Amino acid sequence: MRFDNLNLLRAFAALAVVVYHVIEKTQWTAFPIEGPLLTFRIGWVGVDLFFIISGFVIAYSALLLYRKQPTEFAGSYWRRRLTRILPLYLLTMVLWIVLAWPDFFKQPASIWAWHLFTHLAFIHSFWTDTHGSIDGANWSLALEMQFYLAVALLIRWIDRTPGWRIWLYCTLIAWAWRACMLVLYGNGEVFPLFAHVTQLPGTLDEFGAGIFLAKWVLEKRARNPWQGLLWAAAACVVGYYCMGHLWSQDYWVAPHMVVLWRTSLAVFLVCVLAAAIELPQLVSGKWLQPVNYLGEISYGIYLWHLFAIGFATSITGIAPAQVLIVTLALTLLAAACSWHYFEKPLMNTVKR
CA atoms within 13 A on the CB side of 337: 7
Q: What is the pLDDT of residues 185-243, one digit of tens each?
A: 999 899 999 999 999 999 999 999 999 999 999 987 677 788 999 999 999 999 999 99
Q: What is the pLDDT of residues 296-329, one digit of tens each?
A: 999 999 999 999 999 999 998 899 999 999 999 9
Residue 333 sits in which domain range? 6-70+158-347
**Residue at 54 is within a domain:** yes
Whole-number pLDDT of residue 281 = 80
**Per-residue confidence band for 51, with pLDDT thresholds at 50, 70 and 90:** very high
Whole-number pLDDT of residue 283 = 65
Q: How far is CA 61 from CA 78, 82, 308, in A?
A: 12, 14, 33
Whole-number pLDDT of residue 284 = 61
**Residue at 111 is within a domain:** no
**Residue at 292 is within a domain:** yes
**Residue at 163 is within a domain:** yes
Domain count, the chain: 1
204-219 vs 45-68: helix crossing angle, rounded to 10: 40
- Average pLDDT rounded to a whole number, residues 30-44: 92
CA atoms within 13 A on the CB side of 343: 25
Q: Answer for the pair 34, 185: CB distance below 8 angstroms, yes or no.
A: no
**Residue at 249 is within a domain:** yes
**Residue at 291 is within a domain:** yes
**Residue at 98 is within a domain:** no
CA atoms within 13 A on the CB side of 245: 17
Complete DSSP assignment for 224-241 = -HHHHHHHHHHHHHHHHH
Whole-number pLDDT of residue 179 = 98
Q: How far is CA 335 from CA 53, 132, 153, 270, in A?
A: 20, 20, 32, 27
Q: What is the pLDDT of residues 132-148, one digit of tens each?
A: 999 999 999 999 999 99
Long-range contacts of 25-28 (CB under 8 A, 24+ apart): 25/309, 25/313, 25/323, 26/313, 26/320, 26/323, 27/320, 28/320, 28/321
Number of helices (H) and strands (E), helices first, in the chain? Answer: 15, 0
Q: What is the pLDDT of residues 89-107, one digit of tens each?
A: 999 999 999 999 999 999 9
**Residue at 106 is within a domain:** no
